[in-house]
Chains A and B, each alone.
Chain A
Amino acid sequence: DTEVTQTPKHLVMGMTNKKSLKCEQHMGHRAMYWYKQKAKKPPELMFVYSYEKLSINESVPSRFSPECPNSSLLNLHLHALQPEDSALYLCASSQALANYGYTFGSGTRLTVV
């Protein structure tokens, strides 16, 4: 299995909703990442987990809450989002934090209404 699987593929949520994005990999990778990509822009790093511990938080607002329950799973909990948070959320994994190669999922397209 050489994939990173993200669910759901599409999500529409209201500003008062709570939702979660899920990312799963079974490649034995020990680093996992969340990126946010606005339309016609490059992906921007949000969070990095290494060995299930939060390693990097790129000053992301607290309405985004990451969680890494185990080495194969990465969640992004969403609460009280704004319309400007609408974007493609990409998950990635790598063998370790030392950049051996990043595998990206196909993303979750989030629309906040």
Chain B
Amino acid sequence: AQKVTQAQTEISVVEKEDVTLDCVYETRDTTYYLFWYKQPPSGELVFLIRRNSFDEQNEISGRYSWNFQKSTSSFNFTITASQVVDSAVYFCALSGLRAGGTSYGKLTFGQGTILTVHP
């Protein structure tokens, strides 16, 4: 079985503050993908990033950056200079890559972190 834990239920910041969303995962698979999704109030899940278990390079995309540390099974997400439009629920998710593995084809989500950015 696989598990994703997002310990922060809710985070509230003021615009322009930096904020980090934590994600810790458990899996028996040796190969897997990690994801971050954003869910605004309208409901759709917006894909932000995918990282495979072989690639521990950090990634930056504009104001977004991700820190993947396999040694601590963490995949944290930082928003720099937050904006009101960043307010949403953010989900970290995990999916196994190995055919025949118990998590193959299954996207397991963390509980989500509600981020509110105040003007």
B91 to chain A, nearest CB (A): 6
Interface bracket on A: 20 to 34
B47:A103 contact, CB within 8 angstroms: yes
B45:A104 contact, CB within 8 angstroms: yes
B55 within 8 A of A: no
Which residues of B33-62 are within 8 A (CB) of A? 33, 35, 37, 42-45, 47, 50
**Residues in B whose Cβ lies below 8 Å from that of A102:** 35, 47, 107
A109:B43 contact, CB within 8 angstroms: yes
B44:A104 contact, CB within 8 angstroms: yes
On B, residues with C-beta under 8 Å from A are: 33, 35, 37, 42-45, 47, 50, 91, 95-97, 99, 104-112
5 closest cross-chain pairs (CB), A and B: A42-B109, A104-B45, A106-B44, A97-B105, A99-B95
